[in-house]
Amino acid sequence: MIRLSYIVLIGIALVCVLAEEFYSDQYDNVDISRILQNDKLREEYYNCYMETGPCPTEDAKYFQEEGKREFYVYYENQYIRNFLYLILEVQSEVMQTNCKKCNERQKEMYAETTKWYTQNQPEKWEALMAKSVEDMKKKNAALKLLK
């Protein structure tokens, strides 16, 4: 009986270790092509992420400052809940890990965004990458303080 318990315990541990962690698929239906082709909207998201301009909504601005508020973005006659949260919260990690925790749709979106910026605005892509590195350094420093 004890041997069976150990086998079950080892099996559970293996499942936990081998289970892959992925980002939520909540925003997989966002049409990233439309955002990239819409100069005004693309610039608003870029400036919000870079913290160089206002965010598209007041709630987004609050989130940028406070870091934890849920909000909605009105786009294409619909509200997109927490899309800016996704951009602000995980974008740095996505860039640093080359979308390691992404599902196939998210990898396509990341590849499309990367391709668009590197072909059309490479200087902005470099700025995005530099900010993502800085954000990850801050996040890692904060995690070290908690340990």
Per-residue pLDDT of 50-74, as tens digits, reads 888 877 655 445 445 544 444 444 4
d(CA 22, CA 103): 7
Query: Structure tokens of 56?
Result: 């598209």
- CATH topology for 24-146 is Antennal chemosensory protein a6 (1.10.2080)
Q: Give the pLDDT confidence score for residue 67 in this predicted structure.
A: 44
Residue 120: the pLDDT is 97
pLDDT for position 66: 44
Q: Please give the helix or strand (H or E) that residue 8 lies within, else none.
A: helix 2-18
pLDDT score recorded for residue 86:
55
Task: Give the model's pLDDT for residue 147.
Answer: 61
Describe the crossing of helices 58-66 and 39-50 by its angle, rounded to 10 degrees.
Answer: 20
Q: Is 51 exposed, middle or buried (0-12, 13-18, 19+ CB in 10 A)?
A: exposed
- Residues in the chain with pLDDT values less than 50: 5-6, 8-9, 11, 13-19, 59-60, 62-63, 66-82
Q: Model's pTM, two decimal places?
A: 0.63
DSSP code, position 70: -
Q: How far apart are CA 98 and CA 96, in angstroms?
A: 6
What pLDDT shows up at residue 16?
42
Long-range contacts formed by 84-90: CB under 8 A, 24+ apart: 84/45, 84/48, 84/55, 84/56, 84/57, 84/60, 86/23, 86/26, 86/27, 87/45, 87/48, 87/49, 88/48, 88/49, 88/63, 88/64, 90/23
Q: Per-domain residue ranges for the chain?
A: 24-146
Residue 118 is predicted with a pLDDT of 94
